[in-house]
Amino acid sequence: MSTPVLLSADRLRARLVDGGPYAALDVVTVTGSTNTDLVAAAVEGAPDRAVLIAEEQNSGRGRLRRPWHSPRGFGLHVSVLLRPGLPPSGWFPLLAGVALAETVRRTTDVPAALKWPNDLLLGSGQRWSKGAGILAEAVAGGGGTAIVVGIGVNVHHAAADLPTGAGGLPATSLAAEGADVDREEFAVALLDAVAEVDDRWRATGGDVVASGLLDRYRRLCGTLGQRVRVELGERDPLVGTAVDVDRHGRLLVHADGEEEPAPVSAGDVVHLRPL
């Protein structure tokens, strides 16, 4: 591995905080998890739209508490604290996904889509691979309910340095897909996109239909139209075709042998690839 250029907190603040959409931004060299740190800061009263970026995470957490580690300077590990003044919603990881997938499409030539509810897919067709994950956590205290949204993107990792699987999918990175990415430019573009999506969410009181965010998510969602198996913990898995995402952020799965699709609000989704 070559050594990537590390991020400059001063340059990022000049572009995103000074007259920009964010209240505070810090970059740390290494931490266990940016989400864990920002959750603690939220309890202590950290402001709306505070941002924490780490060059290296050694105890990163994905969905279902899956561990995740990335070497220093190779990924983008960013968490954003939001105090939207609206009730907590399962839409937050989906909204972050919209910002992330649109940013990848806008700044690179890498095909990007979303796997419901919280993964970024890179590649195309039957060779989709996981390039990023999203974790949203509600926080009580510190001046009202807050949401901490964490996004971890594989940026500079070579294909040989990636894990062999990530929640049923092979792992990839922007570099492994052929993109030459400046992490500072990508971080600015991503955080601008998160702010734009959050602005729309707040302006319509969380109405994803009126804001157009539901349609944007549907266009980006690579799970729709796929044969899927949804792992539901102790319950039997649900197998069928993912047909839609509703206004509540639930995945609608038309299970085999059933007349109507079933809404899924939480579950581990596996895309079933045809033999």
Domain hosting 15: range is: 9-218
Over 90: is that where the pLDDT of 166 sits?
no
70-107 tens-digit pLDDT: 778 889 999 999 999 988 888 999 999 999 999 999 99
The whole-model pTM stands at 0.91
pLDDT of residue 259: 84
Q: Mean pLDDT over residues 203-229, rounded?
A: 96
| Alpha carbons 29 and 73: distance in angstroms, whole number | 9
Q: pLDDT grade, residue 275 (50/70/90)?
A: very low
Asked whether residue 4 is domain-assigned, the answer is no
Q: Domain with 195 in it: what CATH number? A: 3.30.930.10
Residues 264, 170 share a domain:
no
Residues 110, 237 share a domain:
no
Share of the chain above pLDDT 70, in %: 90
The residue with tokens 């990163």 is 60
Asked whether residue 1 is domain-assigned, the answer is no
Residues 206, 72 share a domain:
yes
50-72 tens-digit pLDDT: 999 999 988 655 444 455 557 78
Asked whether residue 239 is domain-assigned, the answer is yes
Phi and psi at residue 121, in whole multiples of 5°? -105, 135
Over 60: is that where the pLDDT of 137 sits?
yes
